[in-house]
């Protein structure tokens, strides 16, 4: 399956270590004892000054096997090979990602506690959970953008529309009567639908579920009319004919679906949703760690095999330096704050 491809890439790596007995043996070889001890001391000091000298903890604020977790594992495996150290994934889900965010924000700023962030979801959560302890802007140093994982607009076959423009016309003709599914109140699939509603000036009926697994059966059964969802979750049902894909919620078309227009291309000007993912470190982390991790993200995303697997699951490589991640973070927080406020979304 598509997810199993990425999960294979994301299996933990094992580092090779030298046993204490082997190290002590170097210092017990006759006349080389003093020299061996000196060499060992120099090597240990050099390793202490070289980042990374131990495994890196990578916090993911969503459960295992979800899109964020799969992406984090696929990329961190490639990074670990180049770094020569394990990257240990720690899943801390809950409260719209704010539990993992808070844990990461309180972690030591030593370069060994990184946060793999579903940044667009987190930008939304900053407005829905105002009492959350952590903040992407206040408590973190940006490392680099990683990818964009666009959602698809899927409708039940009973919907009499085969293009985005026809769909918009149908919504306007049935203002206030059409219901839609989401992955939950305050999720991206909810807010990007609210953004669509605002752009075209119609009222919609929201039916929230606990994730795609709860929403898709009702959408396939026709109990709800449409939903924005990930490519990985959507494609099997689109291919089988159970659902019809009308467009992609992104600023650019997906390489895997070159004939599927963006929502803006389909007739909703200004609809500019991108689902960003990035890596952060706690505020005050060493600049050397930020630079090294950004370099390793660049190397990992340049791998052709990884690019193919990411593309197959609807992710597009979107790497950028720390300054670009900081810029996008601020823009996303500002943009989704407007949507949350105008749609009067509450948790």
Q: Closest Cα to residue 51, out of 147, 146, 143, 145?
A: 143
Residue 171 CB contacts under 8 Å (≥ 6 apart), including other chains = 178, 200, 202, 204
What per-residue confidence (pLDDT) applies to 26? 34
Query: Cα 273 vs. chain centroid, distance in angstroms?
Result: 14
pLDDT for 2 equals: 39
DSSP-derived letter for residue 253 is -
Instruction: Report the alpha-carbon distance of residue 268 to residue 282 in Å, rounded.
Output: 38
Q: How far is CA 340 from CA 105, 142, 198, 217, 291, in A?
A: 24, 24, 11, 27, 34
Beta carbons of 129 and 347 less than 8 angstroms apart = yes
What is the reported pLDDT for 96?
75
Does the global pTM surpass 0.85?
no
> Residue 248, Cα to own-chain centre: how many angstroms?
17
Closest CA to 347 of 191, 205, 118, 176: 191
The phi and psi torsions of 316 (rounded to 5 degrees) equal -120, 130
Could you say which residues of the chain have pLDDT below 50? 1-48
What is residue 40's predicted lDDT score, i.e. its pLDDT?
Answer: 42
- Rounded to 10 deg, the angle between the 98-105 and 119-128 helix axes is 100
* Residue 62 CB contacts under 8 Å (≥ 6 apart), including other chains: 68, 69, 91, 93, 97, 100, 118
* Helix or strand run (H / E) with residue 74: helix 67-83
pLDDT at 272: 85
State residue 49's pLDDT score.
56
Structure tokens at 197: 């509603």
Q: Residue 312 has what pLDDT?
A: 84
């Amino acid at each position: 399956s598509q997810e199993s491809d990425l999960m294979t890439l994301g299996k933990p790596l094992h580092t090779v270590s030298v046993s204490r007995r082997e190290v002590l043996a170097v210092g017990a070889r006759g006349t080389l004892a003093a020299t061996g001890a000196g060499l060992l001391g120099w090597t240990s000091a050099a390793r202490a000054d070289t980042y990374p000298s131990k495994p890196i903890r990578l916090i993911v604020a969503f459960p295992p096997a979800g899109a964020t977790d799969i992406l984090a594992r696929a990329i961190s495996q490639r990074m670990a090979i180049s770094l020569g150290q394990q990257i240990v994934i720690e899943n801390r889900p809950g409260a719209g990602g704010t539990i993992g965010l808070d844990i990461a924000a309180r972690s030591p700023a030593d370069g060994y506690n990184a946060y793999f962030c579903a940044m667009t979801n987190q930008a939304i959560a900053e407005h829905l959970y105002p009492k959350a302890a952590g903040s992407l802007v206040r408590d973190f140093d940006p490392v680099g953008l990683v990818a964009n994982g666009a959602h698809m607009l899927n409708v039940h076959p009973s919907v009499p529309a085969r293009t985005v423009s026809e769909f918009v016309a149908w919504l306007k003709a049935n203002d206030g009567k059409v219901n839609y599914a989401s992955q939950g109140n305050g999720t991206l699939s909810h807010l990007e639908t609210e953004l669509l509603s605002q752009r075209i000036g119609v009222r919609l009926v929201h039916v929230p579920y606990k994730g795609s697994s709860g929403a898709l059966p009702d959408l396939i059964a026709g109990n709800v009319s449409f939903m924005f969802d990930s490519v990985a979750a959507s494609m099997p049902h689109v291919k089988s004919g159970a659902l019809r894909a009308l467009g992609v919620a992104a600023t650019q078309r997906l390489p895997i679906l070159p004939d599927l227009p963006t929502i803006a291309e389909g007739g909703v000007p200004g609809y500019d949703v991108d689902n960003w993912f990035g890596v952060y470190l706690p505020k005050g982390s060493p600049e050397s760690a930020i630079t090294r991790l950004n370099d390793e993200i660049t190397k990992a995303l340049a791998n052709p095999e990884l690019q193919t697997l990411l593309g197959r699951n609807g992710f597009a490589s979107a790497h950028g330096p720390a300054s670009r991640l900081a810029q996008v973070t601020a823009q996303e927080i500002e943009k989704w704050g407007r949507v949350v406020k105008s749609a009067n979304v509450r948790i």
